[in-house]
């Protein structure tokens, strides 16, 4: 999600973000409604075809999302071997695998802006309660932007502490990180002002990059 977008012009790339999110949600519901192996396997084939053949995503984009999951998939199958039966375990594993790959296809073919715009659209009924959907979208986009930045700052503090003899991660990491993040937040607030963040009423221009 943070840096998964793979540029392209395929039909999957061009499909509206809202449609892709809706298909993802529908797929999730459908996979949990069926317990038949052939349907789950067909869904996996469909998702792989959409990602690899239609969207022409590199296989590593999908495998990189699945790799951290292997241990959980094995554990899930092992649990079912003990608690239920191998067939149920296989369905559960394929179900989870299909959903993760489908989510990876959506994020790899959809710009963050488009996803945020879809979320803003979903949040638009909240206007009646005084909520500004554009603010929700900005918060999501900024969260995605600043997660790696905060992680980087934390790594630098850990290095600085290690350079001065701290040999393991300590709670003291939290205080300097918090100070740095709060200081940066002040500047980010100024930058938002300088770039006119509060200048227009909440709305999003359709087709914005």
Residues in touch with another protein (CB under 8 A): 2-3, 5, 7, 111-113, 138, 141-142, 144-145, 148-149, 152, 184, 187-188, 190-200, 204-209
Is the separation of the CB atoms in 7 and 58 below 8 Å? no
**C-beta of 90: minimal distance to another protein in Å?**
36
Taking the C-alpha atoms of residue 168 and residue 158, their distance in angstroms, rounded to an integer, is 9
CB of 82 or CB of 194, closer to another protein: 194
Return phi, psi of residue 130, to 5°: 85, 5
Return phi, psi of residue 5, to 5°: -60, 130
Q: Which residues contact 176 (CB under 8 A, 6 or more apart)?
A: 157
CB of 29 or CB of 182, closer to another protein: 182
**C-beta of 64: minimal distance to another protein in Å?**
15
**C-beta of 47: minimal distance to another protein in Å?**
23
Which residue in this structure is represented by tokens 């394929």? 94
CB of 127 or CB of 145, closer to another protein: 145
**C-beta of 193: minimal distance to another protein in Å?**
6
Q: Which residues contact 142 (CB under 8 A, 6 or more apart)?
A: 188
**C-beta of 205: minimal distance to another protein in Å?**
5
CB of 5 or CB of 102, closer to another protein: 5
**How many residues are recorded in the chain?**
209
CB of 67 or CB of 203, closer to another protein: 203
Taking the C-alpha atoms of residue 43 and residue 39, their distance in angstroms, rounded to an integer, is 6
């Amino acid at each position: 999600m943070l840096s998964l977008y793979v540029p392209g012009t395929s039909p999957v790339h061009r499909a509206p973000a809202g449609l892709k999110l809706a298909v993802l949600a529908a797929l999730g519901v459908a996979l949990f409604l069926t317990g038949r192996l052939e349907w789950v396997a067909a869904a996996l084939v469909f998702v792989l075809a959409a990602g690899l053949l239609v969207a022409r995503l590199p296989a590593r984009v999908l495998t990189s999302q699945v790799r951290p999951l292997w241990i959980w998939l094995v554990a899930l199958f092992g649990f079912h071997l003990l608690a239920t039966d191998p067939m149920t375990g296989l369905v559960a594993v394929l179900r989870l695998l299909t959903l993760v790959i489908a989510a990876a296809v959506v994020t790899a073919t959809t710009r963050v802006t488009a996803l945020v715009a879809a979320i803003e659209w979903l949040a638009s009924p909240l206007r009646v309660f005084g909520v500004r959907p554009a603010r929700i979208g900005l918060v999501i986009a900024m969260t995605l932007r600043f997660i790696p930045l905060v992680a980087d700052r934390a790594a630098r503090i850990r290095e600085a502490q290690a350079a001065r003899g701290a040999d393991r991660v300590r709670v003291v990491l939290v205080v300097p990180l918090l100070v740095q993040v709060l200081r940066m937040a002040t500047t980010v607030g100024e930058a938002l002002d300088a770039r006119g963040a509060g200048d227009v009423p909440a709305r999003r221009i359709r087709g914005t990059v």
